[in-house]
Structures are given as C-alpha cells and as structure tokens.
Structure 1
C-alpha cells in the first residue's frame, strides 16, 4: 500500500500510513500568481503498489477538486488507484431542484471514475445518489460517535433528533447503535432564498427532561442546527448535543449555534479547517477508516 496525501487532507493520510505500516508521501502544491493550481508528486509509487489518494474537498472546494484531477493525471499509467474523500463537496446538489440546474454530485463522481480507479471511498456523503455508481464505497461517519456519546451522556435519557426527513436514515443509525428512540423534524427550504422553516412533530413532548442529540452530516452556516436547538430548548430538553460528521463552520456559524443553546458539538476530523473552542470536540476517525478499509480490501 502506498498512501499519498493531497493538499486538502486533514491528516488522515499520515495516520492511516502509520496504522497500515504503509509507504507515505505528500503532494507538493502551490498557487501561481494568476490563481492556477499546481501539484507535484516528488515520490512515485511502484507499479505494483496499491495507491490511496487522500483528499478532503473543504475548504476551497474547486481547488481541492482540481488537485484530485491533477493527481489522477500524474498517475494515469498506474493501474491500481483508490481515492479516499474524507469530505465530498457538491454532494448537496444531487438532483435538479429548479429548472436549468446541473447535478453537481454527478459531475464530481463521474470526473473521478477513471478506468484505473478501483474504488472511491467517501466518508458520510450527503447524497445517496452516488451509491448508484458501483465503485463508490461509503464509510459510516455517524455510528462512530456512539462510544463517545455513551461515555459523556447518560444513555437512558438520550433521544436522537433528525433535523429533517432527509437525515432520518442517518440519525436512525446512531439511535440503533445506542439503543434509544429517535424523532424527526420536517424541514422546508426555499430553493430561491435559502430560507429554512422547520415543522415540529406531534411527539415532541417526549424530549422534556431528555438529553437530545441532533444528528446531521454537514454543519455549514449553522441555521438548521440553531433552529432545531432553539425548538428543543423551548420544549425543555435537559441538554442539546450536536453530532455532525463534517463541521465546516462557515462565517459566524459557531456563534449562531452557541447562542441557540447547544451544550456540545461533536465533529469528525474530515476537513482541514479546525476551530479551537471548548464547545467543540473533534473525533479522530482514522481508526474507523482503517478498520473499514481492512474489511473491504
């Protein structure tokens, strides 16, 4: 195995190389004065090596995407390549919501599906649409939080919250792992303005006095999480915890979530942006990825 960290890798590549006792190198990168991206692989894998390209596509999504394409071009003669995306950008545009739109998730995946690419491993992708491609392998980025939740929170009083119906399957995975109940909000988003409206379920009375755990895959602007947390506080939740795989913290997202009454945010280390704040706990998921790859390969 030969592991190559591309510039967006949040440190997962080096950790995996240590765990697998694999050869490891980092791509050299720079940006030209006109803004164009350049990478170089100073160390090249042997022809028989199974290569892993490790990349996260946030921040600087477009640049991170093009770096992947450049790396694949450098290795175009190599016959055994795997890609690990700790965060896949553009996955939220997985269908046509308004006339005249592209399907951006499809563009990303199909651009990476070269003949010499064996697998594309994606940590907790937003879109199930990409599962239709037979080279895609999804790494669960939610159930892995079960151990830390059990250690930190009284399990008998936990109830899992999905902030929208699209995330029910994701939230149910963690609820099943913990052996607790789950309820789901219904979220409506205006596709023109981006405005969010949340409809409350009939069984929301269950959360009074409970430790509520909001489960989502992406924390971007924080609007969905903050509005959900405010509702839970209004209905007398004892604690409001957030479990989110990809914490992007765009603009003032952290302040927004903090002011909504959230007690703790558990994130995975899937993106390079990391905020040092007592409200946030980062879970190193390299061990879980290593276990998954060991089973799959």
Structure 2
C-alpha cells in the first residue's frame, strides 16, 4: 500500500500528468488504491454451464465461488437471485451464453450480482453465440452478433470473449475484449509437436502465435482444386514426413475439413496429426469420427465436451487481474 501511494504521488506531481497516457494510468492507480483501502475482494460467479472451468478460474484467482439460485416460474420465465452479499467486491461471471436461454441467463446473473452490491462486474463469455453472424447477406437480415454483444456489455463493466470468430465485431478501446488462448493451446501441446499448421490462410495468425510460443515452424494448409470432386491439400513449404503435426483453429464444428487435412498429411508421411481448437461444437458422431482420424483432438472448456482438455483458467485469470 505504501509503494502504491508513492507511485500515485509521483505521477500526480509529474509535469506530464495532463497527457492522456499518464492521466489514464493515474486514474487506474487511484482506483486500485481505493479498492485496497476498502478491502475489496473478488468472487467467481458460476452459471449453469462451464462450472468446471469456473472453479479452475477461482483456484487461479485464489477467490471464492458463488452459485446463484435459479428456478423457473410457472410460465417458464427464469428466476435468478444472488443470495450472497457482494458489497465492495468484483463479481467475475463465467458462463457461456450458448443458445438463447443461456444468453438470457447470463444477462440476468449480471443484474443479480449488481443488485447484490457488486462494485464491479466482469463477464466472461468463453464461447459467444451469434458471433459468426456479423454481417447481413440479404436485405433485412439481422447482424445478430452486434445486438447480442451490446445487450451483454450493457450489464457489466468489462466483457471478455474467448477467440471470437471475427474479432472485428469488438472494435477498439471499449469494454469488450477478445482473448486468443495461444498459451493455453501451446501448453496442451507441450513437447509433443514438431510443426504447427493453420487449416487456411485466415487462421494463420492464431497458429503462428502458438508456434512462436513453442518455438516451432508454422505454415497454413494450401488447397488446390483438381476437379469438381477433388481438392488437394499440402503444407506449403514444410516437409511433414516423420513429423508430429498440430492443426490449430478457432472452432471445430463437424470437423470434416480438419479430418481431410489429417488424412492428406498422413499420406505425406506425417508421423502424428493433432487437431486443436479454442471451441468444439461437434456431435458425438462427429467427435468419434475425428478421434479415429486424428491422434489427439483437444478443445477448451468453453463448451463442455469429452475432449475439453485445453485449460483456459490461467489466461483468463491473467486478463481478469488486468481488468480489475
């Protein structure tokens, strides 16, 4: 506290205090000082999904967990109450707003923790529904990503998304943030891969981030159409013969493209092929087919799946600490 007070005093007497950068920093430090003086703490608030990830996040943050009371009224409306007093605390809501009922639940939990006295509300949406509907293709269509994001952002101080399909929906300098979990994906791969591939050029930046953390080469899969029924895939300038290859993407849905890539890579001599993504939306049938064609299938806990082995809790903890 003494050190923090000294930093605030030093900045407040700086000749550059009127500059935007120093003024912003000064405001942040004053807020931190005020919260420490008030004994402010933090709680992770769990929705009805992602509870395992929420508890892991609470362990990383070394804080308590709150589970709001939820039930349905006779007419089907959702009742939400946070019975725990949250005065002077930061409420960190972790729940994937996947499907319409979960979006409504997330927004009502925001309101409940605010009414329970939370001083700050940080919402984490590990997978954001509607994020792929970011532009109208026909006259009169809704660009659903924007009204849904606006509604959730209106109920919190900060909104954290994980690997949004199109980061451009977020904008810059606002309260909505996009976490690309490159470190989490890299930790899952550990020392078991020799090269990282993106499934296409658009996914290269994410794959390159993972590759740099691991200190491995990176390329994107190139596709060449041979005829109406045949598409050839290759790994660009990389020779994958005898190597362990990780394909990294933002989302695996049916997994058809990743499975075809894995089959082609193995024909090219790849020793092992892994498929990793931030999100997994596959059915049991799709997953079974993927596991037959890939040596490892791994996604995060943004949606609960049998292969949710990419742990986001450390990276989420870091961004929560930065935002609080």
Residue 63 of structure 2, aligned match among 11, 15, 22: 22
Residue 267 of structure 1, aligned match among 299, 318, 321: 299
Bigger RCO of structures 1 and 2 (CA < 8 A, at least 6 apart): 1
Counterparts of 2:235 and 2:301, CA distance in 1: 35
Counterparts of 1:227 and 1:23, CA distance in 2: 45
Contact 1:167 1:216 in 2 (8 A): yes
Q: Which has more radius of gyration?
A: 2
Counterparts of 2:197 and 2:54, CA distance in 1: 32
- Structure 1: segments with no counterpart, 5+ residues: 189-195
Contact 2:255 2:282 in 1 (8 A): yes
- Structure 2: segments with no counterpart, 5+ residues: 1-41
Residue 177, structure 1, aligned to residue 213, structure 2: yes
Q: Deviation per CA, 1:213-254, whole angstroms, max 9, x where unpaired? A: 110121222222212212222222111111112123225211
Counterparts of 1:32 and 1:17, CA distance in 2: 30
Q: With structure 1 as the length reference, what TM-score do the two structures score?
A: 0.81
Any residues of structure 2 matched to 1:74-153 within 5 Å, and which?
74-75=112-113, 80-114=120-154, 117-132=156-171, 134-151=174-191, 153=192
C-alpha distance 99-142 of structure 1, shift in aligned 2 (>3 A): farther
Q: Deviation per CA, 1:129-182, whole angstroms, max 9, x where unpaired? A: 23305111222323322234233x1x5xx2211112221111111111122222
Contact 1:205 1:235 in 2 (8 A): no
C-alpha distance 95-7 of structure 1, shift in aligned 2 (>3 A): same
C-alpha distance 199-104 of structure 1, shift in aligned 2 (>3 A): farther
Contact 1:82 1:121 in 2 (8 A): yes
Counterparts of 1:296 and 1:199, CA distance in 2: 45
Cα drift, residue 29 of structure 1: 2.4
Q: Deviation per CA, 1:50-82, whole angstroms, max 9, x where unpaired? A: 221111134xx2111010122233345555211
- Could you say which structure has the higher helix fraction? 2
What is the aligned-residue RMSD (CA, Å)? 2.8
Q: Secondary structure at the match of 1:132?
A: coil
Counterparts of 2:131 and 2:167, CA distance in 1: 9
| Matching residue of 2:247 | 214
Q: Deviation per CA, 1:166-217, whole angstroms, max 9, x where unpaired? A: 21111111111122222223579xxxxxxx9966357266222221111012
| Matching residue of 1:43 | 84
